[in-house]
Structure 1
Amino acid sequence: MRRRVEFLACYERGRKYRSPSFLVFALPRDGEAAGPRFGSAVSKKHGNAVLRNRVKRILREFFRFARPNLAVPLDFVIVPKSNLDPQTLSLAAATAELSPLCARIAREFERFQEARRQA
């Protein structure tokens, strides 16, 4: 995801999920059979550009590894909470926290799609 309109749609119409260090917004995409898309929003509260870019790189790498397990047409926006320390964040820590959350989101989406098909 790159455009502001896509991020705003995810914030406004998407569902919000919480973990100790992240907020995840998830929005189903209609009519598209492609897999998930990812965006991140790291505010200036997390430090200078070097630290913010570090967080974004780690989140992109997490999503690159998680993408094969998420075969659902969803838009994800991951927003780090203010309690996240960008200097100590690691890929392992992000994966441990976000993997169960993304799996839960995918399960809920699959259930929603199944109920929609039966109705």
Structure 2
Amino acid sequence: MLTKGGCPKNALSIKDALEVLEGRWKLLILFALSTGKKRFGQISKAVPGITDKTLSKELKNLEANKLITRNVYDTFPPTVEYAITEHGMSLEKVMEELHFWGLAHRNLIIGKPVKAD
């Protein structure tokens, strides 16, 4: 049975998850934050290729979806740190499985074994 949007009824939860995590950067940002709090510049270095504008937009989106928190400290200049929430950390197994799937896929396509970290 299909919903009004044409999605099978039992796939709505997958559709919802993909809408929250869509794009090439969100999981990489969450992966970077899974090791601890980081400032904007630290996240930028941990996610090569992302522009500051895109990182800012993605951080706001992740915060709106309660996957990360943004803490501003009363210093001069203000210090801002981002941290993954417990809800965000619930994606840890998903990120780990994607890591291993990506290694296997790369090995299949390129034909060269890649070591797991």
Structure 2-normalised TM-score?
0.32
Highest Rg: 1 or 2? 2
Greater share of strand:
1
Q: Which has the higher contact order (CA 8 A, sep 6+)?
A: 1
